[in-house]
Chain A
Amino acid sequence: MELNTLMVLTLIGMLVAIFSGVHIAVALGMTAMVGTYFIFEDMYLASAQVGGAAYELVRHYVFATIPLFVLMGDFVAKCGAAGDLYKVINRCLGGIPGRLAVATVTGNAAFAAVTGTSIASAAAFSRIAYPEMMRFKYRREFALGSIAGSACLGMLIPPSVLLIVWGIITEQSIGKLFVAGVIPGLLLSVLFIVYTVGAVKIRPELAPEIPKEDQDPVTRGEIVSTVGVVAIIVLVMGGIWGGAFTATEAAGIGALAAMVLAILKGLRWKGIVEAVVDAGKTSAPIMILLVTAGMYARFLSLADIDTIIKDAVGDGPLVGLMMVIIWIVLGMILDSISIILLTVPLFSLIDIGIDPIAFAIFGILLIEAGLLTPPFGLVVYVVKGAVPDSGVQLGEIFRGSIPYWIMMLITAGLIWVYPGIASWLTGFV
């Protein structure tokens, strides 16, 4: 069979399998095995490809970052540090308009710096911030939007599982990608805060002012959590930035530091075991996806995909626009990691005239924006499942998230025009 025809047929077969509901990892691995069979017409060689890949593909030091950063996030989440952080930030904000929503955004940004995923933040803040905002009669749509919107910061602010996966696939330094996520993450947080404060200034009914006597005093435990979280952020990011640790070392040390914080906060043996086992349940599906996506990537290189892609699509900004559309559409129906694994190996071959580090942040922002869009915006469903209020409608969360979605696209656009926003800091690593 001609290689071009084989590529097209296997791609169609894989997409049909994925969109029918076959496990994505299985679809990728099977495509690799079947495709390799058609290249060599030898069943043993095809199975040797996947058998060898299963052993070799994740046998790298850098892959340990994923389970370890997930574990770090699980320890911090399990010991109740997110709730404490929220309360302390809330107290510090004083009389700022829409204070509880601003605290949600700020708390999410800080929590994002110790966890690698958006879903953990969305679930945590749905339980912590939503009841508080309802207690003070915040408009429901506005409150839900702030929770779902700011949860997306988790994937941009390092350590982020998406940045790790992107780095692995494109063979870029994960430490540099982490550093590149800092300014865009902060910029997006500032945009979110400016929007929240601005919206409340224009329409005060969105978030009524909170009387001074209704503010709970900050407890010792809450201060311990806040100091602990800040210490972990400084340790992990400072270590990578200062060159003391590699990303993997930062993940290992961060996980142990988070365990110490969890023990200080009262987490005992049972809770610790639970956190480690839960971290496994979260990271295993990601890791197997990486293994089978690697098998698929090997098949693509056997089929000489570089030449096929370059001949077929060429380079230039128009192709860049096509990528944007594909990412936004896929973002509505697939999870972020699968999107990266399906598209980035191909997209990174195309030169669209933007720095590869900035391109990573740009791509992740667009893919993340998909988490807030109907019909399958994932963060929105997580918020719906986690808020302690069965009356909340999906439509309300989607509507409340629209401004956040727009701001994510604006940030992505800014990075496209000024790639330095992402790449500037990496010059100092």
Chain B
Amino acid sequence: MYRVLERICSALNYVAAAWLMVMAIVIFVEVVGRGFFSAFLGGDEIVTNSVPAVVFLQIPLAILTGSMLRTTISFDHLNKKWRHIVNAVSYLMGMALMIGIAVGGWTDMIKGWEIGEYQGIGALEVPVYPIRTIIIGSAILITLIYFVMLLRAAGCNDTTPGAQADEFGTTEEI
């Protein structure tokens, strides 16, 4: 199960990477269009709506690879069993939050599909229901990831990188 999740998350991360490059290119085209041809192509709508999609495509892998920011100031002083307990609580809270996001955003997503919701006026109209769908889909996937990690923590078999504090014994940072 864990391997399958890893593959899915990795694939989503590649999609996000390609999307990010497309955003950079859209910005470039927009600036060139404006500077040389005084043309407004509406690229900012694409960029604006891409941000949450890219973020939610990237988060599953960030969680799976233990890149989420945390402080280990007291965690470092716990024994192995308590570390698993803290991790389990963290994963449970993560599940609850993601279920909240999925449930809370569900109605808007369905409505978006029904009415073909879009953003932008004139130059470019960007459909936003796919963005809502990516967020809800990602929230459901993250719930599943946290659930698998919770099972591992409950069996004292949590091998997520950073689950036993990283080698520096402190918060991860950019």
In the complex, A291 has a CB within 8 A of chain B: yes
Known: A54-B139, A59-B131, A281-B65. 9 other contacts (CB 8 A): A20-B75, A26-B68, A27-B93, A51-B105, A61-B48, A248-B44, A252-B24, A284-B55, A334-B71
Asked whether, in the complex, the Cβ of A61 is within 8 Å of the Cβ of B47, the reply is: yes
In the complex, A279 has a CB within 8 A of chain B: yes
Residues in A with CB closer than 8 Å to B56 are 54
Name the one of B65, B101, B174 contacting A117, with C-beta atoms under 8 angstroms.
Answer: B174
Residues in A with CB closer than 8 Å to B108 are 51-52, 55
Asked whether, in the complex, the Cβ of A285 is within 8 Å of the Cβ of B31, the reply is: no
Name the one of A24, A48, A255, A280 contacting B104, with C-beta atoms under 8 angstroms.
Answer: A48
Residues in A with CB closer than 8 Å to B65 are 281
For chain B residues 79-121, which have a beta carbon within 8 Å of chain A?
A: 83, 86-87, 89-90, 93-94, 96-97, 99-106, 108
A selection of 9 A-B contacts at a CB cut-off of 8 Å is A33-B96, A33-B100, A47-B99, A47-B103, A51-B100, A55-B105, A59-B48, A252-B23, A291-B55
Asked whether, in the complex, the Cβ of A17 is within 8 Å of the Cβ of B24, the reply is: no
Whole-angstrom CA separation of A51 from B109 in the bound complex = 10
Whole-angstrom CA separation of A335 from B72 in the bound complex = 11
> What per-residue 1/0 map shows which CB atoms of B1-42 lie under 8 Å from chain A?
000000000000110111011011111101100010000000
Instruction: Give chain A nearest CB distance to B30 CB in angstroms.
Output: 7
Which 10 residue pairs of A and B lie closest in terms of their CB atoms, listed nearest first? A51-B104, A252-B27, A51-B105, A21-B75, A47-B104, A284-B58, A335-B173, A381-B168, A47-B100, A276-B17
Interface size class of A (residues with CB under 8 A): 35 or more
Residues in A with CB closer than 8 Å to B87 are 21
Instruction: Give chain B nearest CB distance to A170 CB in angstroms.
Output: 19
Q: Is the interface of B mostly helix, strand, loop or mixed?
A: helix
Q: Is the interface of A mostly helix, strand, loop or mixed?
A: helix
Residues in B with CB closer than 8 Å to A63 are 51
Asked whether, in the complex, the Cβ of A70 is within 8 Å of the Cβ of B97, the reply is: no
A26-B100 contact, Cβ under 8 Å, with A20-B74, A334-B171: no
Residues in A with CB closer than 8 Å to B28 are 252-253, 256
Asked whether, in the complex, the Cβ of B96 is within 8 Å of the Cβ of A378, the reply is: no
Asked whether, in the complex, the Cβ of A54 is within 8 Å of the Cβ of B62, the reply is: no
Name the one of B16, B58, B93, B105 contacting A17, with C-beta atoms under 8 angstroms.
Answer: B93
Residues in A with CB closer than 8 Å to B153 are none
Whole-angstrom CA separation of A145 from B138 in the bound complex = 43
For chain A residues 351-379, which have a beta carbon within 8 Å of chain B?
A: 376, 378
Whole-angstrom CA separation of A67 from B106 in the bound complex = 27
Residues in B with CB closer than 8 Å to A17 are 93
Asked whether, in the complex, the Cβ of A253 is within 8 Å of the Cβ of B67, the reply is: no
Asked whether, in the complex, the Cβ of A256 is within 8 Å of the Cβ of B25, the reply is: yes
Name the one of A47, A64, A279, A376 contacting B73, with C-beta atoms under 8 angstroms.
Answer: A376
Asked whether, in the complex, the Cβ of B44 is within 8 Å of the Cβ of A61, the reply is: yes
A60-B20 contact, Cβ under 8 Å, with A21-B86, A376-B73: no
Name the one of A21, A30, A277, A336 contacting B173, with C-beta atoms under 8 angstroms.
Answer: A336
Whole-angstrom CA separation of A334 from B69 in the bound complex = 9
Asked whether, in the complex, the Cβ of B24 is within 8 Å of the Cβ of A21, the reply is: no
